[in-house]
Amino acid sequence: MHGKYVLYEVQDNVATIALNRPEAMNALSSNLSAEFISAVEAAMSDDEVRVIVLTGKGRAFCAGGDVKAFTQQITVAERHDGMLKLARLVLKLAESPKPVISAVNGDAIGAGLGIALAADLVVSAESARFSVPFLRIGLVGDAGLNYLLPRQVGLARAKQMMFTGEMLSAEEALKIGLVSKVLPDSELAEYVYKTAAEFAGKPPRAYAAMKRLLNNSLNMTLPEALDCEASTQTVLFNTEDRMEGVAAFLEKRRPRFTGK
């Protein structure tokens, strides 16, 4: 698929979704959001795609909502519909059975940070900055931030970020666990695609199951989590990928996982 505001490319089982509105720091206009959702759906439905990479063009990852567009006169129903579309996008990313990597090439602000945090791995360029300045314009966090941010950095730190709207450097973000790794800008793409290639070689069903267990564990008791582990492991023991993994280990070769 080809879009004006979102670039989509599949290579070596990795789908790259790049926000392409650099003149506005990749702010989420209605057109960009629509193309973004289409790109994510394309990656989800393509059996060739095993990993999804999110990034931005220019000096920003995503500056969040397009504040200039907030002055447009639209109905309450239209506004609510737009918010629900953003919510569905975040949910698709967070619940994707395929690994999602956010390659934060530049500033991730407001909803842009929420989108980044919906990924499984958040890797940042040194120049990137992070902020959730909703209160400055009389709004609360959206794009899942009220759920995702406390789980990423803890409730107290999330409140500090959201109440103050402070701007964090990449190194500060790393210290509080907002991102998992910080790299020189020139090395970000290489690292991300090396990591994506590694993820693409993993067993798809086991990966999806592991992600589901980890995500659900935050809302489970220990007995519930142990029961889910046992049930999931029992199912995976009967997959072709498990058999291939064991055979490859014993034969000292690289496994060839098919997702079966």
CATH of the domain at 134: 3.90.226.10
Q: Is residue 63 in some structural domain?
A: yes
Instruction: Please choose, from the candidates 38, 49, 149, the residue with its C-alpha nearest in 3D space to the C-alpha of residue 99.
Output: 49
> What is the rounded distance in angstroms from the CA atom of residue 209 to the CA atom of residue 130?
30
Residues 6+ apart with CB under 8 A from 52: 14, 15, 17, 40, 43, 93, 96, 98, 99, 100, 101
Q: Is residue 256 in some structural domain?
A: no
pLDDT < 70 positions in the chain: 1-2, 69-71
Q: Is residue 61 in some structural domain?
A: yes
Whether residues 161 and 245 fall in one domain: no
Whether residues 164 and 209 fall in one domain: no
Query: Could you list the residue range(s) of the whole structural domain that residue 103 is in?
Result: 6-200
CATH of the domain at 236: 1.10.12
Structural domains in the chain (count): 2
Paired with 11 in beta bridges are 14
Whether residues 229 and 157 fall in one domain: no
Whether residues 139 and 80 fall in one domain: yes
Whether residues 170 and 244 fall in one domain: no
> What is the rounded distance in angstroms from the CA atom of residue 75 to the CA atom of residue 34?
19
Q: What pLDDT does residue 78 have?
A: 80
- For the whole prediction, is pTM greater than 0.85? yes
Whether residues 110 and 50 fall in one domain: yes
Paired with 65 in beta bridges are 28
> What is the rounded distance in angstroms from the CA atom of residue 244 to the CA atom of residue 210?
18
Whether residues 105 and 54 fall in one domain: yes
Q: What pLDDT does residue 41 have?
A: 94
Q: What pLDDT does residue 151 have?
A: 95
223 is written with which tokens? 């007995």
Q: What pLDDT does residue 70 have?
A: 67
Whether residues 113 and 235 fall in one domain: no
> How many CB atoms are closer than 10 A to CB 153?
20
Q: What pLDDT does residue 114 have?
A: 96
